[in-house]
Amino acid sequence: MAGVAGAAAAAGRSRGRGRARAVRTGGRAGRTDGQTDGPVSLPAAPPPPYPSSRRASPAQRGGRGLSIDGRSSQSERSLAASPGARPIGARGGGADRRGPARGGSRAPRTSAALRPRPDRHRGRERRVRAASGTVRQRLPRSGPASRTELALKETMSSGGAEDDIPQAERKTVTDFCYLLDKSKQLFNGLRDLPQYGQKQWQSYFGRTFDVYTKLWKFQQQHRQVLDNRYGLKRWQIGEIASKIGQLYYHYYLRTSETSYLNEAFSFYSAIRQRSYYSQVNKEDRPELVVKKLRYYARFIVVCLLLNKMDVVKDLVKELSDEIEDYTHRFNTEDQVEWNLVLQEVAAFIEADPVMVLNDDNTIVITSNRLSETGAPLLEQGMIVGQLALADALIIGNCNNQVKFSELTIDMFRMLQALEREPMNLASQMNKPGMQESTEKPARRENPHKYLLYKPTFSQLYTFLAASFKELPANSVLLIYLSATGVFPSGRSDSEGPYDFGGVLTNSNRDIINGDALHKRNQSYKEMHCLHPGDLYPFTRKPLFIIVDSSNSVAYKNFTNLFGQPLVCLLSPTAYPKALQDQSQRGSLFTLFLNNPLMAFLFVSGLSSMRRGLWEKCQDYLRKINRDIAQLLTHSRSIDQSFLQFFGDEFLRLLLTRFIFCSATMRMHKIFRQETRNYPESYPQLPRDETVENPHLQKHILELASILDVRNVFLENTLDDY
């Protein structure tokens, strides 16, 4: 990925993760123009991530979210009482240590634009670097006792003689400086939290949000004194709000609860609406402009995850103007890096191959997260297992694929396929008939996820082991691999789990022409490769594997050693030449698993569709999914592993979409040139009862007829075998 390091540096590295305490950005934010800011309602403290844990949540410790009058809102009280989601160490949110990580390996790269990092430039609020990073530094008694006294001397001198300042106002500034210092020390310490594991981060993150809650409330209550005596600037208020938004974002990464993306969006949106950074461009300080640019990059990522594409386009335009002004005024060296950020996000939002249009030709934004009607319902008589998807590793290591903030388009699509639609907690509690004291929001857990972008083998194995160790009983670990294929160097006398190659892991070496790997000796196996045999130890627990690679068939040679449920869904190893040019915009196989109708339109040669026809086809596709579920559960020869996984909504939807994908490609004229154009699975599905079932083929032809593309499919497919 050319320029990744530079773009990451330009976009900012938010390294923190953890559990958020809720605040409420209400009150009157003082403005230099004499106007006031309106309130922004935010939800309550997140619930304790582990319902069985004895640790009290921030709300239980008495630190509820704040409103204008200091009381907790209805949504805050309800959310604080609701059961918590299991925390995750989401890969995009781990601390990106460039040195050795815990366990002796370097950490894989994370979402660069969103990792918290200490400010590199010192302004009015310069930091005191403590030796431990978590306590205030003690300075010699002969000098100023703390940064607080430095601030007092520096900021109060403009307001008159120091002795003339009332003691109460002096104490207000002192307390504010202490809270500001403490919040920065705790925030910067988030980068030292373990990237994997689900318990270590809780207490530290709770303390961090406690301090930010106090800091936000304090600056609201004492705005006039801080304006007059401390010289509080609006961009400083914006930076506090931005960090709270980052905390909410990282709480989403830790818990995979999409509702907290809405809270991060609320803070970022308030910063933009209140123009907290509007005065930055008037100051001759490039480091302040960089803060503003990083804020835009973080806001864009949150909007992408929420599918707010209209907002993304506005933000990209504003960011482009800000970058142009920044580079023109300061003639900096990071212009290329920031322009790369713009190019990446522009390519990312244009990656979808099909547009859905309204009658006025505006683009319809479609969401691909699991909705209430998304997965086919289990009907009476269906005998399935009770396993639940608990953990998922989403790994991206494809060369030259569209990405933004170290999240490839394939990773982004699979991330959304493993999440439920975000729920607005406040509006949910305001529905008629909801009782505050007795009714609780429905428990809506998403699987715990790690997002690993180009990890090394040791990093990948470390995260795998952590997920395996903490996997609850009757739960499933999902591994999604989107990576370049690694093929065996020569013929082997044996056919073991290390003789068929695998997928590429990051070797920190240059790759020539994409797939050509340097070989030390053909008698050795490729060491920078995840072989099927590397996953054998983890088959001691239920394992669901998806491989999207040019050598996915290597994972067809699995052996189920321990008798636990095990399924591998494998992409085609090659695509027809007419589709190969689209590989940079994401894999067709992953697109089928994320948005099967869009993939069906793409292989049918359609690039746009009216909204009414789209919704009609979606309804018909739901009917197809219901029929696929019946075919699969009524099959007499299907391997029981498929049925064991079919009880989980996410896995059920992935399995039905996989069968639809395989059946579509087997009926499509341009895919029938060679068998490697078809998806495969381990164990094999009974073809005549699933992917080549005449009833399913009839449905696909009917869908093609609705779209008027029946001519690209074969009518009598069974006669061709």
Q: Judge whether residue 4 has pLDDT over 80.
A: no
Return the closest-CA partner of residue 17 out of 366, 448, 393. Answer: 448
| DSSP H or E run through 64 | none
| All structural domains of the chain with their residue ranges | 167-352
Give the Cα-Cα-Cα angle 574, 575, 579 (nearest 5 degrees): 150
Work out the angle between the directed axes of helices 649-667 and 596-603 (0-180°, nearest 10): 10
Rounded to an integer, the average pLDDT of 365-388 is 82
CA distance 532 to 483: 14
Burial zone of 682 (CB within 10 Å; 0-12 exposed, 13-18 middle, 19+ buried): buried
* Mean pLDDT taken over the chain: 76
Are 90 and 275 in contact by the 8 Å Cβ rule? The answer is no
Q: Judge whether residue 14 has pLDDT over 60.
A: no
Give pLDDT tens digits for 475-500: 999 999 999 999 887 666 667 888 88
Q: What is the DSSP string of 120-160?
A: SS--TTPPP--SSSSSPPPPPTTS-SSHHHHHHHHHHGGGS
Q: In this predicted structure, what is the pLDDT of residue 243?
A: 94
Q: Judge whether residue 623 has pLDDT over 90.
A: yes
Residue 10's pLDDT band (boundaries 50, 70, 90)? very low
Q: Any bridge partners for residue 608, and if so which?
A: 355
CB atoms within 10 A of CB 627: 17
Are 77 and 63 in contact by the 8 Å Cβ rule? The answer is no
Residue 30's pLDDT band (boundaries 50, 70, 90)? very low
Q: In this predicted structure, what is the pLDDT of residue 156?
A: 54
CA distance 41 to 49: 23
Work out the angle between the directed axes of helices 234-255 and 259-273 (0-180°, nearest 10): 170
Give, as one character, the DSSP assignment of residue 520. Answer: S
Q: In this predicted structure, what is the pLDDT of residue 423?
A: 64
Amino acid at 247: L
The token pair that represents 276 in the structure block: 């907290």
Residue 591's pLDDT band (boundaries 50, 70, 90)? very high
Give pLDDT tens digits for 560-575: 899 999 999 999 999 9
Query: Is 167-352 in CATH node 1.25.40?
Result: yes
Q: Which of 32-41, 54-63, 394-403, 432-441 has the highest mean pLDDT?
A: 394-403
Are 441 and 74 in contact by the 8 Å Cβ rule? The answer is no
Residue 314's pLDDT band (boundaries 50, 70, 90)? very high
Based on its alpha-carbon atoms, the radius of gyration of the chain, rounded to whole angstroms, reads 27
Give pLDDT tens digits for 220-239: 999 999 998 899 999 999 99
Q: In this predicted structure, what is the pLDDT of residue 85?
A: 31
Residue 334's pLDDT band (boundaries 50, 70, 90)? confident
